[in-house]
Amino acid sequence: MKNIDSHSHVRGESVYLDDIPHVAGTLFACVFDSPVANGKLVSVATSEAEKSEGVYRIITAKDLIGENQIGGIVPDEPLLADGEVHFQGMPIAVVLAETEEQARKAAKKITAEIDPLPVVTDPRVAAANGDLIVPPKRFVMGDAAAAFDTCDHIFEGRTEQNGQEHLYIETQGAYAIPTENGGLRVYSSTQGPTAVQRAVCRVTGLAMHQVEVDVQRLGGGFGGKEDQANAWAAICAVGTQLTRRPVKYALHRMEDMRMTGKRHPYSSDYKIGLDKDLKIVAYEATFYQNAGAAADLSPPVLERTLFHCTNSYFIPNVTATAYSCRTNLPPNTAFRGFGGPQGMFVIESAIAHAAEKLRVSASEIQRKNLIDDGDEFPYGQIAESDAITSWEQGDAKFDFKALQREADEFNASSKYFRKGVAMMPVCFGISFTKTPMNQARSLVHVYTDGSVAVSTGAVEMGQGVNTKIAQVAAGFFGLPIEKVRLHTTNTLRIANTSPTAASAAADLNGKATQLACEAIRARLIDVALPLIEAGTPEGVTLTDGFVYLNGERTSLDWSTLVMTAHLERVNLSEHAHYATPGINFDWDTAKGHPFAYHVYGTAIVGVTVDCLRGRYEVDYVKCCHDFGTSMNTSVDNGQIEGGIVQGIGWMTIEEIVYDAEGKLRSNALSTYKVPDIYSVPKDIAIVPLETKRENLAVFNSKAVGEPPLMYGIGAYFAIRNAIKAFRDCAPEIDAPFTPEKVLMNLYSSR
């Protein structure tokens, strides 16, 4: 079963925001953004720009009819700067012109008088100044302070992790069109149509029923459009409200890189205590999250760092504290893993540190401490764990010791190349950690010709969620997939949606679709009973376009059944609602059962470092991954491959550089390197974990979007091991491991 979009993708026929035909009279927007990272905004000079060719109007904060505010969790983010600027790239004014080029040309003619203030880019400095987005968050299990007294070995250290540019192929953008009676239709490249609707309503003062948001698909989101699509939609909506003309803004790549937030960089302290058998007895971690200039999604990202601070390990005594620190960078945001990878990197660093000092393999410590059934996570949920089985099944398939031996033998005979190997177990919780967000709806129509249309709250962004939902509907009705069509994600058809995020879109929207299809199917089978001379629905199924009775095909086909039902005035549509059962979390106690289930997996990562040049290649990533029962192995394997490559990129070559003035120096594809076809692992081998457990996933097909990214963390420690095989040293743990850093570690004195 191929992705239903593959045909139109390869032909270039799939529709993205920039493919929507322009309505006559469309104006094009371009933002003038702050050239200063912190300061008092004294004045904005727009008169030169106003005289520029094609300019229709220029908008600043004072023009807004609604509230100048787009902060979803904390109201700390004006749409347009008013009196102050807090990061380079902060929108100050919007030019509306007859063409895109005219808008961009005019925006360059705007100037602003700004009295600069000191710029903070370091989260620890912000924390020392008391500049936090929200009060610190803490998880406590057992008594770490007391437990350290009983430990045979204690190690303390510090790690640095950089951010990551989302680099979705399609940049951010929106297109607003006036509808009658002052309403708006907004096309947006967003993961969260409802979030866009709320932001648009806030800045325009319109009610939600006056604003329709429509999304066909995204050319990638990766978390970057969970919240940060809002600003561009709000800008277009304000433009349309003030001019009653359609307004479009599709950002250029450099505008997008400069003005939008990224994965959060973290600076962290850890303290790990082990007994003489290498059991981890106590763990303390303190996380300093670089939130940027506004809250955006930083608080829940920070929380997920805590949720994943012990990764796949059971540690009886844990104290983990996290600070969300306000700095003068663009507000950082969701990115595949949502803070989880940052938490996992720190525990993996602590284990690597302990292994180095104890002269054992990190894998020995990892293996001994994997969480087991019945063990408790620091947030109170009891594990149904496949950490050990995924390790064992991976080992049975790939033979971890043999791969290590192969590297050791290579290293013994090579002069300037070294191989390194690292294990990377992953345990990722599935559900939004904010329990109320775990709900979804689906609208299913069966038309009288037998074709089926499905709308849900899920946004297709390349991850194949529409394919999975089509499979659900086709499966329930016993139809070929061509009979089912997924329609745009639209706030008129599906209201109050959660964003497509947390890897939960297929589960939540798939389950809602399942409920809708079940209801229609039950009604259709009732219509079928007299026609096939059956007394009860027992033994009646819909298969291959026909009604079957006790496994035998009857003469009643799908189209006839549907038409008959319609003539009998039976409802052929259903709008269904699904809410994940059994989940909760209470921040007063910091305990609960936040996740429907966890996804487990174990990867082994092998690299080769060129010790003359500092360059490296990833030879392989071999993993045993917990799919549950995959609904679509080609989609799911694609998610794993993409996740792994994105994770490796974050850990190795992708380097975001802001200078001391808060200016983004890595602001284009020429200065920000991402993995290309030559730098992906030469071998990615995936074996499915064989489990028979029941879970809350749709058809037991577990969420797959985010967890594989964290296998990429193994590449960092594999490179570190290769360096240590060249030279006895203890490289600082400071990601990403760019070739420059590798070279420094190969030859510097430390």
Token output for 428: 């990722």
Smallest separation, CB 14 to ligand MTE (Å): 13
Smallest separation, CB 336 to ligand MOS (Å): 5
String marking each residue 661-700 x if it binds ligand MTE according to CB under 6 A: ----------------------------------------
Q: How far apart are CA 721 and CA 476, in angstroms?
A: 50
Q: Which amino acid is at 714?
A: G
Q: Is 433 in the site for ligand MTE (CB under 6 A)?
A: no
> Looking only at residues 541 through 580 of this chain, which bind ligand LUZ when binding is defined by CB under 6 A?
none
**446 phi, psi to nearest 5 deg:** -105, 120
> Looking only at residues 125 through 144 of this chain, which bind ligand MOS when binding is defined by CB under 6 A?
none
Q: Is 226 in the site for ligand MOS (CB under 6 A)?
A: yes
Q: Is residue 280 within 8 Å of 367, Cβ to Cβ?
A: no
Mark the segment that binds ligand MTE (CB under 6 A) among 96-104, 216-224, 270-278, 399-407.
Answer: 216-224
Find where tokens 């709320």 sit.
Answer: 198
| DSSP class per residue in 646-663 | HHHHHHTT----B-TT--
Asked if the bond preceding 736 is cis, omega within 30° of 0, the reply is: yes
Q: How far apart are CA 357 and CA 478, in angstroms?
A: 60
Mark the segment that binds ligand MTE (CB under 6 A) among 120-128, 458-466, 576-584, 734-742.
Answer: 458-466
Classified as helix, coil or strand, 28 is strand
Smallest separation, CB 191 to ligand MTE (Å): 8
Distances (CA, A) of 684 to 503, 627, 645: 21, 16, 10
The single residue among 245, 336, 591, 720 that binds ligand MTE, judged by CB under 6 A, is: 336
- Count of chain residues binding ligand LUZ (CB under 6 A): 9
Q: Which does 462 bind (CB under 5 to 8 A by kind): ligand LUZ, ligand MOS, ligand MTE, none?
A: ligand MTE
Distances (CA, A) of 289 to 132, 162, 295: 10, 10, 11
E-only strand ranges, 247-371: 247-250, 266-274, 280-292, 317-326
Mark the segment that binds ligand MOS (CB under 6 A) among 64-72, 320-328, 335-343, 582-590.
Answer: 335-343
The single residue among 338, 391, 477, 699 that binds ligand LUZ, judged by CB under 6 A, is: 338
String marking each residue 158-197 x if it binds ligand MOS according to CB under 6 A: ---------------------------------x------
In 3D space, the residue among 103, 149, 54 whose CA is nearest the CA of residue 255 turns out to be: 103
Mark the segment that binds ligand LUZ (CB under 6 A) among 13-21, 405-413, 431-439, 629-637.
Answer: 431-439
Classified as helix, coil or strand, 211 is strand
Smallest separation, CB 334 to ligand MOS (Å): 4
Q: What element of type H or E holds 146?
A: helix 144-148
Q: How far apart are CA 18 and CA 258, in angstroms?
A: 20
Q: Is residue 401 within 8 Å of 390, Cβ to Cβ?
A: no
Q: Is 224 in the site for ligand LUZ (CB under 6 A)?
A: no
Q: Which does 220 bind (CB under 5 to 8 A by kind): ligand LUZ, ligand MTE, ligand MOS, none?
A: ligand MTE
Q: Is 334 in the site for ligand LUZ (CB under 6 A)?
A: yes
In 3D space, the residue among 742, 728, 733 whose CA is nearest the CA of residue 349 turns out to be: 733
Q: What element of type H or E holds 10?
A: helix 6-10
Neighbours of 138 (CB within 10 A): 13
Q: Which does 185 bind (CB under 5 to 8 A by kind): ligand LUZ, ligand MTE, ligand MOS, none?
A: none
Mark the segment that binds ligand MOS (CB under 6 A) among 126-134, 156-164, 332-340, 448-456.
Answer: 332-340
The single residue among 137, 304, 353, 445 that binds ligand LUZ, judged by CB under 6 A, is: 304
Q: Which does 463 bind (CB under 5 to 8 A by kind): ligand LUZ, ligand MOS, ligand MTE, none?
A: ligand MTE
Q: List CB contacts of 81: < 8 A, sequence separation 6 or more.
A: 34, 41, 61, 90, 91, 92
Q: Which does 304 bind (CB under 5 to 8 A by kind): ligand MOS, ligand MTE, ligand LUZ, none?
A: ligand LUZ
Distances (CA, A) of 68 to 71, 183, 227, 238, 489: 10, 19, 16, 11, 27
Mark the segment that binds ligand MOS (CB under 6 A) among 47-55, 57-65, 333-341, 401-409.
Answer: 333-341
Q: Is 706 in the site for ligand MTE (CB under 6 A)?
A: yes
Nearer to ligand MTE, 424 or 508 (CB): 508
Neighbours of 543 (CB within 10 A): 14
String marking each residue 450-489 x if it binds ligand LUZ according to CB under 6 A: ----------------------------------------
Indicate the pairing of strand 597-610 with strand 417-430.
antiparallel
Task: Please name every residue paired with 57 in a beta bridge, in sequence order, or none if there are none.
Answer: 96
Q: Write down the catalytic residue from 384, 706, 732, 740.
A: 706
Nearer to ligand MTE, 245 or 468 (CB): 468
Nearer to ligand MTE, 306 or 461 (CB): 461
Nearer to ligand MTE, 18 or 568 (CB): 18
The single residue among 193, 223, 246, 464 that binds ligand MOS, judged by CB under 6 A, is: 223
Classified as helix, coil or strand, 124 is helix
Q: Is residue 331 within 8 Å of 77, Cβ to Cβ?
A: yes
Q: How far apart are CA 428 and CA 703, in angstroms?
A: 10
**70 phi, psi to nearest 5 deg:** -125, 10
Nearer to ligand MTE, 312 or 639 (CB): 639
Mark the segment that binds ligand MTE (CB under 6 A) among 97-105, 495-503, 560-568, 614-622.
Answer: 495-503
Nearer to ligand MOS, 334 or 508 (CB): 334
**Cα 326-329-334 angle, rounded to 5 deg:** 80
Nearer to ligand MOS, 241 or 463 (CB): 463
Q: Which does 547 bind (CB under 5 to 8 A by kind): ligand MTE, ligand LUZ, ligand MOS, none?
A: none
Report the residue closest to ligand LUZ, judged by CB.
338
Q: Is 334 in the site for ligand MOS (CB under 6 A)?
A: yes
> Looking only at residues 168 through 207 of this chain, which bind ligand MTE when binding is defined by CB under 6 A?
none
> Looking only at residues 281 through 300 of this chain, which bind ligand LUZ when binding is defined by CB under 6 A?
300
Mark the segment that binds ligand MTE (CB under 6 A) among 24-32, 142-150, 258-266, 701-709.
Answer: 701-709
Residue 706: active-site member: yes
Smallest separation, CB 499 to ligand LUZ (Å): 7
Classified as helix, coil or strand, 282 is strand
DSSP 21: P
Q: Is residue 504 within 8 Å of 578, Cβ to Cβ?
A: no
Q: Which amino acid is at 123?
A: P
Q: Is 249 in the site for ligand LUZ (CB under 6 A)?
A: no
Neighbours of 346 (CB within 10 A): 29
Q: Is 301 in the site for ligand MTE (CB under 6 A)?
A: no
Classify burial at 42, counting beta carbons within 10 Å of its beta carbon; exposed 0-12, middle 13-18, buried 19 or more.
Answer: exposed
DSSP 24: T
**618 phi, psi to nearest 5 deg:** -90, 115
Q: How far apart are CA 235 and CA 186, in angstroms?
A: 11
Query: Where does this chain bind ligand MOS (CB under 6 A)?
Result: 191, 221, 223, 226, 334-336, 338, 501-502
Q: Which residues are catalytic?
A: 706
Chain residues binding ligand LUZ by CB under 6 A are 300, 304, 334, 338, 432-434, 501-502
